[in-house]
Structure formats: structure tokens, C-alpha cells
A and B are shown apart, each in its own frame.
Chain A
Amino acid sequence: MFPGIDGFHWTAGHVVFLSLFFAVVMTIAATVVSAAQRTAHAFRKKRAIEFCWKSDFAELPEAERRCRHELAGRVMSRTCDNAFDCRHCEKYSQFAVLPARGTVHSLGLDYPEDRFYHRGHTWVKPEEGGILTVGLDALAEHVIGCADSVKMPEIGSDLEINETAWRMKKNGNEIRVRAPIEGKVVGIGGPEEGWFLKISPRLSASDPVALRHLLRGPEVYGWISRELERLQMQLRAPDTPPSLADGGVLVPGLMDAVPEANWDNVLAETFLEV
């Protein structure tokens, strides 16, 4: 194939054949290389997390991908096609003006009105000085109870939205809590005052769209009641029929109370994992 090799002579066949062959090889190589490059690029542009979240989101069951406006009863049925990112959702405003029809009733769980809620069961509470506090919501607290171990991020580290904010371990299950908002970690709350993060958001909290993607008001009730329903479905003993989602009060430390359940699935669906 190269000069100086006995018994080899070039023919037209070689030229055609080899050029074809190398064209193919090049194409294949190019494909791989470009895929690798794009990956690297995504990381450089800090968009890797976004990609991950979006492909995770795509894998979520239909029931978990409901639009907030459906939860609030503004529309009959709508699947979110924007990975819960209402900040860049052009449909948002046109639905947001509609009146909410969701019935607001007691959930037996404490969801204060002054907070915003993320589908990964975290709340966001604006503090003075544009700092935001992020913590686990009541349902998550009830499910997990007291975690065996918690791994909080470093102070000063940057969090992307939907990135794993902190990890908890309970009965051998790993729980990844998704960050409801992007920003820099400025403070960490320990076990005694309940695990929470203090975050200085990338866009200031005063920005109208800064927290638009988080649930509030009636949406929360719609969402939580569905979550409770799902929880009950998942936790019920195989033989008993599903009891109505009448907001039966959750026992704290559910994981210890019902150890035999398939917690792997329950936690995954609760914390938007695939």
C-alpha cells in the first residue's frame, strides 16, 4: 500500500476502492470527534447540566410532566414541553391570566404561602438582600424523616438549576435533591435548624421572571395532592384497593414506617430522577 513494498502495484481499482474506504472511515471518525467536541463545548458553556436535565425530563413518566397550569386547573390537560422552565416558555403568559379552578383544601402538610416550590420537592424563600433560602418541602421531610447522612455542597460553589444541590442517604437509598434555582452557595444550614442552603441567585430575585418557573398558590395544592395520590398508590399494600387521595395525614418518617415499599422507585419519582 506504500512505496517500497514488494509485489504491490497501484491500479485504478485501488484508487477508487481506497478513496471510498477512507471516505467512509473519515465520516465515522468525524462523527465521533464532533460528538466529543460538542460534549466538551457544552461543558465549557455550562450547558451540560441543562442537557442532562432535559434528557432526564424526557424520560420522566407522562404523569410527572404535567404543566403547572393544568395543576392549577387553568387548562384541562397539558404536558410541559419545556422541561419546567417557564421563564423561557412563550405559552406561560397566555395561560397565566386564566383563572385558577383548583380547590384549595387542607393537605395536612404545611406549605407556607410565602415560598415558591420546585417539582423536586424543594422550596425557595426570598430573604432580604436578594439572598434565597432553599430547603426540602414538607412532603419530602415526611417521606425521608431523619436522613442517615447528608452531603451539602461547598460554600461558594456554583449551582446550576436542576443540578444535584445536595445528596442524602437513608436506609441505603441515595437521594439527589435538585437545585430549584441557579446561583452561588453562600450559606449552609445544619441538621439542628433543618438542612437548607443560602443562595445568591444569578439573576436578582427582584427580576420578575427570576422565580417564575417555581410553583405557587393553587398550583401547589394541585401538585401536592397529585403527589400524595401517587405516593399512596406506590405505598399501598398490593391487595388493598387504592384509597382516595383525601389528604390522609402522612406519618413522619415514612421510609422507616413502610420499609417494605419499593423506595428506589418512590424516591426516584419524588425527586425527579430517572
Chain B
Amino acid sequence: MKVSRRDLLVWSAGAAAGLIVTPVPWKLLDDTSIWSQNWPWIPQPTRGPVEMKQSVCTLCPQGCGMRVRMAAGWPVGVAGVSSHPVSRGALCPLGFGAHQLNWHPQRLKTVRHRGGASAWGDAQAAFAKACKEGPVVVIDGYPGRAASSMLESFAQKHDGGYRVVLSAETRALTPYEKWSGVPASALGYDLENAKTIVSFGAPLLDGWGAPGRFTRLWAERAAGMNDPQLRLIQVDESLSRTASRAWQWVPVRASAESALAAGVARVLLEERLVAWRGPMPSLTLAEAAERTGLSADAIRDLARTIVARTPAVAIGNGIDPEIAALNVVLGAAATPGGIVRRSKRGAAYVPADAAMPSVRAALIDASVPWDFAPQTDAEVFRFAAWDGGSSRADWLLPAPGFLEELMDVPTAPTLAAETYAIAPSLTKPPAEVQSAAQFLGGIDPSLTPVDKIIHSRCGNLFHARAGTLIGREATPVAKIASAQALEEQLQKGAVWVGEAARPGGWRCELKEWPAAASGPPENLTATWSAPVLPPLATKLYQESSLREMPARRNA
């Protein structure tokens, strides 16, 4: 049939009229709301296949198990691993934002020499030159890794020194080295079996050790109970996070912890509340009371409360011989529920904070806390993934960031048993980035690279046939088919745990009561050692009154 223009007009008009009564136009109008939501300048997440990877957090030496959500090849979220023997599903608050660290505006991406831009070539040349000219010191903040052994062997080859910046938890154990000859790195706290824990200012619930370990323990055995199986007594000058949750808070004057420890020890010895016999603290009860600002009775009560339920252990914050001595008095050294020797091995490290005269150059690994400054006038090569600001290093060398390099994770400080895990590299680092180990490998090709070392370590674990491998389920190493299988399991996020420490693997000889700690105890806020905070953490510091923004972190 023939269609006139008039027909067309009529039809289209009719169609238009009909359209009105259908939901279509209204629905479209409604959708404008969704369009007005998605302006081009509003960033939207990148879609992509989502997969779960298991790994270990390598931002500090505590080695918490970490489940990483990956989308389109990028980490988009982290969570704890409930099956992890140490962290037991927990992470520190900062860890939850770690996946965004690699995008931090202060990420180091280029070599910098005295503030100016430079190149790896120059850095390598400069360091090689330094090695020829004189002794070089290599400083490590995370001993025991495959990378660490690379650093160490390089230092030995080039008759330089290998120094270590120990975590505050480990430092608290150093006094026992003198009395027992066992290196602090081989000691740990058997918190799981303790019944009373006296913390002298140690932030047990606020970043002490692996976050999951003690908090979970406390939550199960102490939280909110009037008469808990685990009594947490917090000695603190102010109502700290830990003090406010503790079973009992003992408010003392600032830096009077060791005085209180001595006072308590004196009461224990005088009233024969403990079996141990030995030197008596020189400090009298009256003096202790005067120094701590507590009444003598309060100190007596405290002493009695501590021994009311044993095993009891005292935990100090940083190096404090008198608190260590108190543990000896309490018999907490070398007994279950106290301080135990977790491994036969364990090196005594040379601490890095001692002065380093007549050193040509110092190479600082990225694991060393940002604000650590070596006591030397040597040429400093500082590796770091982020620029924490105000660095006095001559060379700033960009290191791989979070989850960007293959690492192995040795036993964390304070643990009562040995552990071993592997953190595979999940995302590829930006170009222009090198770890200290790779750097040294570049200078001295004869060094065994990290992956080889890890491989051989897995081999050793397998052949030792000791301990259990804890992945989704626990399997004794003895039952594992091959070193290959073991390594694969570890690569997938499983953790090897050694045998529990046998009671009395070591002895402490306390000849005379130690001198009081020199200077105030170091204040350990968090185990976080990266130069910057995750942007979200910074945000929460700003947007809530929950925590004070740490002064030293200019994130």
C-alpha cells in the first residue's frame, strides 16, 4: 500500500502519545539519577577477575598471615587468616590499609643522590668504590630472612660489619644474654601458659608483638572477666589503651617502672613469697614507694597479687635489666608460662645503635625503621620503598613495596616456637626498583640470590623432618612427600611451626642485682616500621579522636 506523509505524521504522533503511557520514558527519567551519580571525574573501581591470594604481611617482623583480594591483578583488600598459628586471623589496623601503600604519593620510584635525581649506575659505582676504599657496614632491620643472610655474607666478604636494628620486643630480652649466654633472638614469651602477666608499660594490647597473638589470648581468657584465668596487670603512668582494658591498672610516676620492679622483687624476697634465693635489690621498699608514687602497701599488694596465681611473667618495654631480674626472681626464666628458649640456633647480633667510627659507607636495608639514624659520618646508602621525609642519607634507593618481592618470613620476636613462612611477590614492582639484596647481588654476583636461599631453607626444613606445616589443615613435616611439596605449600601461604620449646632449655645466673636501666624506657607505639602510613590510616587519624597522629610519621 502507499504511505502518504500524512499517515506517517499520524502514526508517529500516535506512537509518541502511546510511549507516554508506557513506563519507558519515566524509567529513563528516573535513570538520570544514576547518570548524575557517575560523573567522569569520579574515580570508579576497575572491574576484573577477583581472586584470593594467601601471603604474609612483611611490613614488620611480626609476620601476620594475610589474605589478599586481587582484582585485575591488583590487591584490592586484605584480611587476616584465621588458620594462621601466630596472628590467628588478626592484623594490626595499619595492615588493613597496606594494599594501598604502593600508591602512596611518597612512594620512591627513582634513585636520589643528596636530594637530586640520579641513577642506579651511579649508586652502584659509588658503593663499589666505597667497598674498595674502606670497610662498609650493612644494617638490617629484619634479621633471619634469606635477604638478611645475603646482606650478612656480603658484609663478611668485604670485611665490613653486619649490624641489626632489633625490635623493641627483642631488645627487652637482651639482659638475659649476659646471665645465660643464650642470644635474645632465641628467646620468647610462653604467654599461652602464663596465668599472670605484669606489663611494665608494654602496650600488650596495642601493637606489642604479633597483634593477633596476645589480643586473641586476652580476649579468650581475660576480657571483661572479674576473675580471669589470665590476669593482666598493667603498670602505666597514664590510662593507656592496654591499661584501660587490663584486669588491674597500677598508675605509677613516669619512668618509675624499674623502681617498681625492684620494689616488688624486694617484697617477694623479704616475705619469701617465691622459692628463688639470690641477691636483694639495693632499693628499699620506702624508696620504691617514693619513686613510684605508690604506697608501700600498694606495692606489697601488687607483689602478692602477682604471685597469687602462677606462672607469672613480667614484660618490660625495651631494655630494662631490673624487670628481667624480677622475672628471674619470679622463676619465670626458663619455665613454661614464662620466658623460654625457642631454638637451639639463634645468633647474637651486633646492635646497630652503637657508634660506628672509621666506616667508609653504610648500607641500610629497607626493613630498618625509617627514623633510625646510624651514629656515623660514613656515606649512607638508604633503601626504602617510601620517602618518610627529612632523611640525612646520601643515597635514597627505591626498594620494592608491599607484596612486590619474594620474601621469606623467619620466626617473629616474642614467639615461644619457631616459625617459617614465605611471602610470594603478588604484584610486579615499578621499573627502577631494587631491593638491597638485589643491589648487592649486582655488585657481587657470587652471592647466592634470595630465591635460591629460600629453596635451600625449605630443603633443610624438609630434611629436618621436625615441626608441622599449617595451611588449611595442619600436616606434620614428616608426612610431607617432598621438599618441593613443602615449598609449594609455603608459597601458597602455609606456615611451618617448630616443636614447642622444652621446659628448661637454658639457665639464668643472677650474680648480683643489676643496675637500674639507663635513661627512660623507649616508647614503643606500634610495630609499624614502614616510613609512611597507609593513606586510610592517616585519614582515620584525622577523622577520629581514636588515636593521636604519631608525630614521627609524616604520612
Binding site for B on A (CB under 8 A): 1-6
Contact = CB atoms under 8 A, between A and B. Distances in A.
Contacts of A4: 23-24, 26-27, 30
A6 B23 CA distance: 12
A125 B149 CA distance: 129
Given A3-B23, A4-B24, 13 more contacts: A1-B26, A2-B23, A2-B26, A3-B26, A4-B23, A4-B26, A4-B27, A4-B30, A5-B23, A5-B26, A5-B27, A5-B30, A6-B30
A5 B23 CA distance: 8
A3 B30 CA distance: 11
A5 B22 CA distance: 12
Chain B interface category by residue count? under 10
Contacts of A5: 23, 26-27, 30
| Residues of B contacting A: mostly | helix
Nearest to B30: A5
Nearest to B27: A4
15 contacts: A1-B26, A2-B23, A2-B26, A3-B23, A3-B26, A4-B23, A4-B24, A4-B26, A4-B27, A4-B30, A5-B23, A5-B26, A5-B27, A5-B30, A6-B30
A217 B23 CA distance: 77
Contacts of B30: 4-6
A1 B33 CA distance: 14
Nearest to A3: B23
B26 to A, nearest CB: 4
Contacts of B24: 4
Contacts of A6: 30
Contacts of B26: 1-5
A5 B29 CA distance: 10
A4 B24 CA distance: 8
A150 to B, nearest CB: 51
A88 B27 CA distance: 62
A250 B26 CA distance: 75
Contacts of B27: 4-5
Contacts of A1: 26
A5 B26 CA distance: 8
B165 to A, nearest CB: 57
Interface string B1-43: 0000000000000000000000110110010000000000000
A106 B336 CA distance: 140
A6 B24 CA distance: 13
Nearest to A6: B30
B52 to A, nearest CB: 32
A137 to B, nearest CB: 61
Contacts of A2: 23, 26
B102 to A, nearest CB: 38
A3 B24 CA distance: 9
A157 to B, nearest CB: 40
- The residue in A1, A2, A3, A6 that gathers the most chain B C-beta atoms within 10 A of its C-beta is A2
Nearest to A2: B26
Contacts of B23: 2-5
B178 to A, nearest CB: 72
B207 to A, nearest CB: 44
Nearest to A4: B23
Q: Which 10 A-B pairs have the closest CB atoms?
A: A4-B23, A2-B26, A4-B27, A5-B30, A3-B23, A2-B23, A5-B26, A4-B26, A5-B27, A5-B23
A10 B23 CA distance: 16
A1 B26 CA distance: 9
Nearest to B23: A4
A99 B462 CA distance: 142
